[in-house]
């Protein structure tokens, strides 16, 4: 699962014992070795960040860290920032809020880094953004799209994704609205994991679809550690909706499909958040069963946005895998910071923030611009699994497929 605008990192308790420790050591080494360069007026520019390299989401944050590393390597290979090399000062917060706060205070107050970059998840960015704001440091976060983060109207906060959870239903609802009334779904089931992002998104779907005359016939919220979806699937089958919207974060999206198959129910249209963009999704549900499933994306390796192809190639060459949302979002955060610093021409936090509020930055996820609270003004992509590939179907400018399949084929056994 990937932390996108609408998805916090999934917690995997204790999983990092094996993965996190080496990363922790690497990160600690990185941070220590860079201390002597911190805060220098000339020479290396130090960029501080604290990431959950160990702890509950260590496995997820690894690709985010790699995105930052690739961005810094490429920047240095092209002469650095303002003619100076950049060095990442990376600390490990273990996916703990108090440690993240402490780390960013340390980066600012003790290591005197020149610039900051953000951590992952709404969970961590919520308190950390306040630290940056208090110290008047520009804080560009690669993930953390919960509305509560932007409700505080911070001046130095910027979100490096095209949109937040609030915009998640936009493209899908617009496509439904564009259908002739007779072809629109009449009834819908809404089922979501009990999570701030998916719950909020599912409620938005429900409210916006209701305005189009789509009647809710099932609405329930399940706990994050729910493993058996048979009873839920059976209840949805009994309600017989035309459309099912699931606020899924990870394997729960796969589990509901499996249970649909067992109870013998295929919705005409199925929209799931997050799960369908996971690399393991087609294997888990069967490639033929992905056909017609819709989702929202913050990023796609196939998107024809400026620089995306080069980024994907470079990432593949360096890490031998396709970049995840996390990797792309980190890279984007770096792009945004570099663009602003370059435009301002000096390490002046206030001037950098002002510039970002007034300008648009071209990134691998498309052009980004922000409102006064640091909320991006763009929209997410609407994607659909077609012939074994996740195609972008809206907006038209970024579409890789011109057709949306509204009638989902039956499950393949």
Partner 1 sequence: MTLLLQTLIFGCLIGGVYALMSSGFTLIFGVMDVINLAQGCLLITGAYLSWWMWQRTGLDPLLLGVLSSAALYGIGWLLYKGVVARVQRVDPGLTLVATFAVAVAGEGVIALVFGTSDRSATPSYFNTSFHLGSLSVPKAQLYACIGALVVLGGLYALLRGTFLGRAIRACASSRGGAELVGIDVERAMAQMFALGAATTGFGGAALSVLYQFLPDSQDIWIGRVLCVVVLGGLGSLPGALAGAVVLGLGEALTSTYWDVRWTTAVPYMLILAILLLRPQGLFGITLRREGARA
Under the rule (CB under 8 A), what is the footprint of partner 1?
12-15, 17-19, 59, 191, 194, 220-223, 225-228, 230-232, 234-235, 238, 250-251, 254-255, 258, 261-264, 280, 284, 286, 411, 413
| Least distance to partner 1, CB of residue 301, Å | 18
| Least distance to partner 1, CB of residue 1, Å | 9
- 361 CB contacts (<8 Å, ≥6 apart)? 335, 336, 339, 340, 367, 368, 369
With respect to partner 1, which residue has the nearer C-beta, 250 or 380? 250
With respect to partner 1, which residue has the nearer C-beta, 87 or 258? 258
Cis-peptide, bond into residue 194, ω within 30° of zero: no
With respect to partner 1, which residue has the nearer C-beta, 19 or 373? 19
Distances (CA, A) of 37 to 221, 246, 265: 50, 48, 61
With respect to partner 1, which residue has the nearer C-beta, 17 or 179? 17
Determine how β-strand 366-368 pairs with β-strand 381-386: unpaired
> How far apart (Å, rounded) are the C-alpha atoms in residues 58 and 69?
16
With respect to partner 1, which residue has the nearer C-beta, 230 or 354? 230
CB atoms < 10 A from the CB of 409, how many? 11
Residue 285 in contact with residue 250, Cβ under 8 Å? no
With respect to partner 1, which residue has the nearer C-beta, 95 or 154? 95
| Least distance to partner 1, CB of residue 238, Å | 6
| Least distance to partner 1, CB of residue 41, Å | 42
H helix or E strand, kind and range, residue 45: strand 45-51
Determine the Cα angle at 308 with ends 306 and 309, to 5°: 110
| Least distance to partner 1, CB of residue 413, Å | 5
With respect to partner 1, which residue has the nearer C-beta, 10 or 375? 10
Residue 383's closest CA among 283, 301, 261, 305?
301
* CA–centroid distance for 249 within its chain: 11
* CA–centroid distance for 380 within its chain: 10
| Least distance to partner 1, CB of residue 239, Å | 11
| Least distance to partner 1, CB of residue 386, Å | 21
H helix or E strand, kind and range, residue 236: helix 230-239
| Least distance to partner 1, CB of residue 226, Å | 6
With respect to partner 1, which residue has the nearer C-beta, 33 or 228? 228
> How far apart (Å, rounded) are the C-alpha atoms in residues 125 and 108?
16
């Amino acid at each position: 699962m990937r932390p996108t605008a609408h998805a916090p990192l999934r917690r995997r308790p204790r999983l990092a014992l094996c993965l996190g420790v080496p990363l922790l050591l690497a990160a600690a080494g990185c941070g220590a070795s860079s201390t002597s360069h911190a805060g220098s007026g000339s020479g290396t520019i130090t960029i501080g960040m604290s990431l959950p390299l160990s702890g509950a989401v260590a496995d997820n944050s690894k690709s985010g860290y790699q995105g930052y590393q690739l961005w810094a390597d490429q920047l240095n290979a092209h002469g650095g920032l303002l003619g100076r090399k950049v060095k990442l000062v990376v600390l490990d917060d273990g996916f703990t809020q108090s440690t993240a706060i402490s780390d960013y205070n340390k980066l600012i107050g003790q290591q005197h880094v020149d610039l900051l970059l953000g951590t992952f998840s709404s969970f961590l960015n919520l308190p950390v953004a306040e630290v940056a704001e208090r110290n008047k440091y520009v804080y560009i976060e690669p993930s953390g799209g919960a509305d509560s983060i932007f409700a505080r109207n911070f001046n130095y906060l910027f979100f490096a994704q095209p949109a937040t959870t609030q915009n998640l239903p936009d493209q899908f609802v617009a496509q439904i609205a564009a259908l002739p009334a007779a072809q629109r779904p009449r009834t819908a089931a809404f089922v979501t994991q009990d999570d701030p992002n998916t719950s909020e998104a599912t409620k938005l779907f429900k409210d916006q679809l209701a305005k189009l005359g789509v009647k809710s016939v099932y609405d329930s919220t399940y706990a994050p550690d729910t493993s058996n979806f048979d009873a839920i699937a059976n209840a949805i089958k009994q309600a017989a909706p035309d459309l099912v919207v699931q606020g899924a974060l990870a394997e729960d999206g796969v589990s509901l499909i499996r249970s649909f198959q067992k109870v013998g129910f295929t919705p005409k249209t199925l929209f799931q958040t997050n799960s369908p963009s996971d690399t393991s999704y087609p294997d888990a549900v069967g490639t033929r069963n992905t056909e017609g499933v819709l989702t929202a994306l913050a990023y796609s390796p196939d998107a024809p946005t400026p620089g995306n192809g080069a980024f994907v190639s470079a990432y593949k060459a360096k890490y031998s895998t396709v970049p995840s949302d996390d990797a792309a979002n980190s890279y984007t955060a770096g792009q945004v910071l570099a663009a602003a610093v370059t435009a301002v021409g000096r390490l002046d936090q206030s001037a950098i923030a002002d510039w970002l509020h007034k300008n648009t930055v071209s990134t691998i996820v498309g052009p980004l611009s922000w409102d006064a609270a640091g909320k991006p003004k763009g929209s997410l992509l609407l994607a659909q699994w077609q012939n074994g590939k996740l195609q972008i179907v809206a907006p038209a400018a970024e579409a890789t497929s011109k057709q949306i399949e509204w009638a989902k084929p039956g499950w393949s056994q």
